[in-house]
């Protein structure tokens, strides 16, 4: 390798490291938003909910900045196949992170909606459990992204059906509660929206994991079945 | 320009045209899915709903194929800045189209859910209006993408608040209906999910428009306000 191409390659590695770190920074911000949103919902903390809503624009700004950086790298340097996979995975991951930010904001808004309704907190224990579950999924998905660990990514992606089970169970609880008395409908619907947002955060975390697998293994796993994914783990270990 | 670079450039144009056409093909498929899903919901047509669910995998296959093509172009040819914007817009657009496909499938599933419930069809006229409205948004967004028409894209993006108004009005209708009798809850919730899916299709159509604007104008309009967008139209015309 000539000195020049080494130089170019090093410069490129620095740029790639930089954008990778910025995605992790955005991930940290989004995790913090989710943590606060869940807290505001479960403990009826108006101020915390307002902070989440206020900080939502920071998530959007981070997305736009990273996207610009991504295009700049594509234009100025001419990345090789492996690096392009990294850039493509980054581009998709920040879209998912931005949407997790949106869902966190929605949860905070529902927390505020519910303040006025003075409904007894129904199904909150279950909603909190789902919240903790998907927060961990997001955290581990970002960890897999940080370490470029496709096995961890696969393991996290496989947790998604469990978050669906939580979701279905909470929905049953809330619908039953609505059926008992029409007065429960309005508050239960707000809780349903928050639950739906949490379930979507599980989906986005799974998407991030699929991006990591694609990045590391060069394998598109977006539309394959759980059985197939499990086979992949088995054959790999 | 040397003969070789002309040759490369022409080859590249062909590749870009090809991927652009494939996205439009995927768009046509998704439009068809939405049309059938809405029909199945409004007219309680079980068979039509089943066709939508069956064809959903075609949408996924199209997304994966185009994504692969996109990476291949990035790796084999070294596109210039303008072409990269096109490729980036394509990558984001197929993600939105895939999600419209997902929402169409959800609407078809709700149509099937509602078959057994034998509820009187409540708020269906309004839901049909919202369905027609977002179908037109999707159609025009794809038209703007086909013609690379940023003005049309901006005009369609600005329709999104109107779809939100439809959505809010249907939600009020359905919640009132639930309040009247707890027997209405289960069917109304299914209708709420379908309405929510339609509203999201409006969002995705808006995203596609923003991709077109970015592609043509090189301007990121994702997180700017409606007022700002309207200013942009005025200053441009």
Task: Compute, in degrees rounded to 10, the torsion defined by CA atoms A134, A139, A143, A144.
Answer: 10
Question: Which of B67, B84, B223 is nearest residue A74 as measured by Cβ atoms?
Answer: B84
Q: How confident is the model at residue B5 (pLDDT cuts 50, 70, 90)?
A: very low
Going by pLDDT thresholds of 50, 70 and 90, the confidence category of residue A9 is: low
Question: Tell me, what's the ipTM?
Answer: 0.81
- Interface contact A91-B95, CB threshold 8 A: no
Report pLDDT digits (tens) over A165-215: 999 999 999 999 999 999 999 999 999 999 999 999 999 999 999 999 988
Name the architecture of domain A2-236.
Up-down Bundle (1.20)
In angstroms, the separation between the Cα of residue A179 and the nearest Cα of chain B is: 5
Q: Which residues of B touch A68 (CB under 8 A)?
A: 220
CB contact under 8 A, B91 and A95: no
B222 touches chain A (CB under 8 A): yes
Neighbours of B5 (CB within 10 A): 9
Q: What is the CA radius of gyration of chain B?
A: 20
Residue B1, pLDDT above cutoff 50: no
**DSSP-assigned letters across all residues of A140-199:** HHHHHHHHT-HHHHHHHHTTHHHHHHHHHHHHHHHHHHHHH-GGGHHHHHHHHHHHHHHH
Distance CA B143, CA B164 (A): 22
Question: Is B2's pLDDT higher than 50?
Answer: no
Residues A133-166: tens digit of each pLDDT: 999 999 999 999 999 999 999 999 999 999 999 9
B189 has a chain A CB within 8 A of its CB: yes
- Picking from B85, B95, B223, the nearest residue to A95 by CB comes out as B95
In a mutational test of the B interface, the residue from A56, A182, A184 whose CB has the highest number of chain B CBs within 10 Å is A182
Nearest CA to B141 out of B18, B16, B13, B34 is that of: B34
Contact criterion met (CB below 8 Å) for B86 and B47: no
* Count of beta carbons in the 10 Å neighbourhood of residue A230: 12
Residue of B nearest to A58 (CA): B223
Q: Which chain B residue shows the shortest CA-CA distance from A94?
A: B92
């Amino acid at each position: 390798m000539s000195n020049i191409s080494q130089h170019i390659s090093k410069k490129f590695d620095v740029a790639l490291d930089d954008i990778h770190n910025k995605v992790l920074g955005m991930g940290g911000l989004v995790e913090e938003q989710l943590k606060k949103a869940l807290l505001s919902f479960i403990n009826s903390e108006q101020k915390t909910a307002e902070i989440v809503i206020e900080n939502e624009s920071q998530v959007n700004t981070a997305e736009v900045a990273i996207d610009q950086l991504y295009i700049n790298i594509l234009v100025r340097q001419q990345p090789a196949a492996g690096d392009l996979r990294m850039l493509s995975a980054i581009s998709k991951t920040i879209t998912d992170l931005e949407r997790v930010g949106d869902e966190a904001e929605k949860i905070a808004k529902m927390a505020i909606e519910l303040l006025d309704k003075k409904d007894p907190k129904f199904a909150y224990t279950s909603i909190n459990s789902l919240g903790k579950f998907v927060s961990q999924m997001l955290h581990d998905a970002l960890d897999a992204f940080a370490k470029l660990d496709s096995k961890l990514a696969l393991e996290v992606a496989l947790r998604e059906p469990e978050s669906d089970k939580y979701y279905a169970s909470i929905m049953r609880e809330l619908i039953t509660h609505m059926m008992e008395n029409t007065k429960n409908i309005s508050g239960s619907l707000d809780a349903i929206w928050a639950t739906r947002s949490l379930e979507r955060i599980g989906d986005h975390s799974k998407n991030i994991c699929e991006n990591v697998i694609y990045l590391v293994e060069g394998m598109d796993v977006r539309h394959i079945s759980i059985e197939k994914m499990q086979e992949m783990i088995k054959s790999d270990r």
